[in-house]
Structure 1
Amino acid sequence: MAVAAHRKPVERERVLIVDDDPSVALLLAHVLGAEGYRCIRAGAVAEARARLAEGPFDVILCDVGLPDGSGLDLVEEAITRDEHIAAVVVSGLDEVALGERALRIGAYGYIVKPFTANDVLIGVLGALAHRRRQLAAVWEASSETIQRLCVAVEARDTSTAAHITGMSEHCYAIARELGLDAEYCELLRAASPMHDVGKVGVPDHILLKPGPLTDDERAQMERHAEIGYRILAGSSAELLRLAASIAWTHHERLDGGGYPRGLSRNEIPQEGRIAAVADVFDALTRDRVYRRRFSRDQALDVLEEGRGTHFDPELLDALAASLID
């Protein structure tokens, strides 16, 4: 006869429970914890802010009246800081105005005390599903924007089309080799094709010139990093923010000799350092009007000459590892 095993619930999303009544907070944690949610409790706005600063949460379940401030203000602040967080407001007041404000600030649901376990579970599941739909819509819109801008660059310089795709795949491969979060790797792959979008602001006689550039022409060409950043910056979408950072920093060098800002080492964000390696490697392995493509090994040898000065050594190793068949 088979013996029923006590199975440990599958770990699910992280939930921040904010309520100044310990018994209510404990009940919420018990209901959600039984379903595998990882719950952290806070009894006041200040404590909740501290917990939010310590690490990302998937859900915030928050009371309206807290001893040191408004729970609604806290929820609005949390959503503004982290577009991935889903919010549910909990209150002992069954008022239409409060519920409407909760929805206006971006909360999905409004649970009225006393509540049942089903009320809580349905509220959290609904909030997570709603947030995923919102993020999917933003991702789709951002991806379309990126595709359209890439087409604009490719229309001026048809040789960039294959490079854009190849460079993006190398960024993804490097990130995966480093063991970075899968979602970040996908974001990097989607955002990196925009690294040279600023070239739309470079005159054709410079962009398409087959021979070496003069000092003045090179200075104008280097402006594309700043132009690209200005095109992409300021978006609320994480994908476009990442694309803006890549556009701005993929020509920086570890030794501070890059452009446009002369950043060095850890001043250069990780996505910029990854894109720098992927960009140069892919460019070297493609034919140009003034030279034939390098083999993979030849291209890696060229990058090795810049180990620790131009390129991050760890990322060079990750690129080489990703190329092993």
Structure 2
Amino acid sequence: MHAVVIDDSRSTLLALRLELLEITGLEVETFADPEEAIRVCETRQFDLVLVDYNMPKRSGIEVITALRAMPNYELVPILMITSETETAVCLSALEAGATDFLRKSADPVELKARARNLLSLRRAQVELSLRADGLAAAVTAKSAALVASEEELIWRLARAMEYRDGETGDHVSRVAQISRLLAQDLGLDEDRQRKIYLAAPLHDVGKIGIPDGVLSKPGRLTDSERDMMRRHVDIGVKILENGTSDLLRVAERIAGGHHEKWDGTGYPKGLSGREIPLEARIVALADVFDALCSPRAYKPAWSLQDALDHIRREKGRHFDPACVEAFERQWSKIASVMGADETDMRIHVDGAPSLDTAYPENALRLQKQTKYRSTRQTAGRE
């Protein structure tokens, strides 16, 4: 360990240094100039400071005050050496941050005893600090590992559900990306954006409890099959409810509310407007848009323009108007998420020509989509 002695008397410095060097493992530096000592302490760490009270350039109390203002000297033991016996002097030193006192008349045995005690205190401080840092690092690493595991589990579960539903894992990825763009545009903070991005893939996790014959049926669902399909919302909530993390609670709100509609005609509770959790309103729009643009057993893929037109028509009915406006503002980025080329990105919300009408090669696709649209099989199975 390292001690520093500050005293304007060189003979006193020499005597103190010789006595302190008898303490095993202790290195000692001395300074007759308190200003120089303070400058050195700004860049070097000592474990014990001995400072004289009565010095011409700076008093011992001023030196202590300067040292205690340095972050790395807030807890370092400081031994004040003084010939004063007045209580007021001692109180002033304590208030400045002195740890202990030593009379100049004290014998070498007392000096070394007090120094050893203060060095033991310093060792305990250092050990405790190292343990605390180690525990903090371990907790941080463990927390990061747990978060990473939770995120990985969510994505794997979502992708497993996608494959069972006859879709690809790209759907949940696109829904997550679009949801984050909307959350960002709506001004949500970074943490909330992240939670929506990570929880969005679980919006249809309840489909794990729906029979394959209903999930994969290529034609229209019967009324009983539609009722069965709608049960995936309640199943999803059951899977995710009572989660201990904020992320799972967000996922539960999304799973339970992404089939509600702004005008109150959705399910399962018929919520309307802001009764529907914002996370669910965001993911509902992203999910419907990507489902429209993706091929399904019961419909072909729509063009980006047709899907965009549908979203705009449903503003204030199916979708939160604010979410639709955010969707329009983020259009170029959303089109990029969908893998659009520059032509697709020119589809504009201010009346730009439809992709299908502007480019004749898409006419056949438009005819097929119109046929399916007439049956109202637009986004997914309700």
**TM-score relative to the length of structure 1:** 0.59
1:198 to 192, 206, 214: 206
1:236 aligns with 2:244: yes
* Structure 1 residue 131, shift from structure 2 partner: 5.9
Alpha carbons 1:142, 1:237 under 8 Å: kept: no
Q: Is the Cα contact below 8 Å between 1:138 and 1:237 reproduced in 2?
A: no
CA contact (8 A) 1:142 1:240 kept: no
Closer/same/farther in 2, CA of residues 265 and 126 from structure 1, 3 Å limit: farther
Question: Taking structure 1 as reference, are residues 296 and 136 closer, same or farther at Cα in structure 2, changes over 3 Å only?
Answer: same
Write the distance in 1 (CA, Å) between the matches of 2:145 and 2:151.
Answer: 10
Q: CA deviation at 1:132?
A: 4.3
User: Deviating runs (4+, > 4 A) in structure 1?
Assistant: 121-132
Partners of 1:139 and 1:239 within 8 A in 2: no
Number of the residue aligned with 2:289:
281
**Shift of residue 129, structure 1, vs aligned partner:** 5.6
The percentage of aligned residue pairs carrying the same residue is: 42
Quote the Cα distance in structure 2 between the aligned partners of 1:257 and 1:185. Answer: 27
Q: 2:221 corresponds to which residue?
A: 213
Partner in structure 2 of residue 298 of structure 1: 306
- Deviations 1:248-273, CA, capped at 9 Å, x for gaps: 11001111111111111111111000
Cα pair distance change 1:258/1:118, threshold 3 Å: farther
Cα shift readout 1:136-191 (whole Å, capped 9, x = no counterpart): 23322211321332243133223142211111111011111222111211111111
Name the TM-score, length of structure 2 as normaliser. 0.51
The answer on whether the counterparts of 1:143 and 1:190 sit within 8 Å (CA) in structure 2 is yes
Q: Output the CA distance in 1 between the equivalents of 2:211 and 2:332.
A: 39
Q: 1:269 matched to which residue of 2?
A: 277
In structure 1, stretches of 5+ residues that fail to align are 1-30, 35-116
Residue 170 of structure 1: which of 156, 178, 183 is its match? 178
Question: 1:100 is matched with which residue?
Answer: none
Deviation at 1:213, TM superposition (A): 0.4
Using the TM superposition, give the Cα deviation of residue 192 of structure 1 relative to its aligned residue in structure 2, in angstroms. Answer: 0.5
Structure 2 match to 1:69: none
Q: 1:151 to 1:294 in 2, by over 3 A?
A: closer
2:180 is paired with a residue whose SS is helix
Distance, in Å, in 2 between the alignment partners of 1:316 and 1:139 is 31
The CA distance in 2 between the partners of 1:269 and 1:127, in whole Å, is 38
- Inter-partner Cα distance in structure 2 for 1:139 and 1:253: 32
Query: What does 1:32-71 correspond to in 2, within 5 Å?
Result: none
Deviations 1:226-266 (Å, cap 9, x if unpaired)? Answer: 10111111121111111111111100111111111111111
| Larger of the two Rg values belongs to structure | 2
Q: CA deviation at 1:285?
A: 1.1
CA RMSD of aligned residues (A): 2.8
> Aligned-pair distance for 1:118?
10
Q: Which residue of 1 aligns with 2:371?
A: none
Alignment map for 1:146-185 (pairs within 5 Å): 146-185=154-193
Structure 2 unaligned residues grouped into runs of 5+: 1-67, 72-124, 334-382
Alignment check: 8 A CA contact 2:220 2:298 kept: no
Q: Match of 1:164, as an amino acid?
A: V
| Matched letter for residue 312 of structure 2 | E
Aligned residues: 213
CA contact (8 A) 2:166 2:216 kept: no
Deviation at 1:281, TM superposition (A): 0.6
For residue 197 of structure 2, what is the amino acid of its counterpart? R
Matched, 1:258 2:287: no
Q: Aligned partners of 1:177 and 1:124: how far apart in 2?
A: 41
Alignment of 1:10-21 (within 5 A): none
CA distance in 2, matches of 1:272, 1:128: 36
Name the residue aligned to 2:151. 143
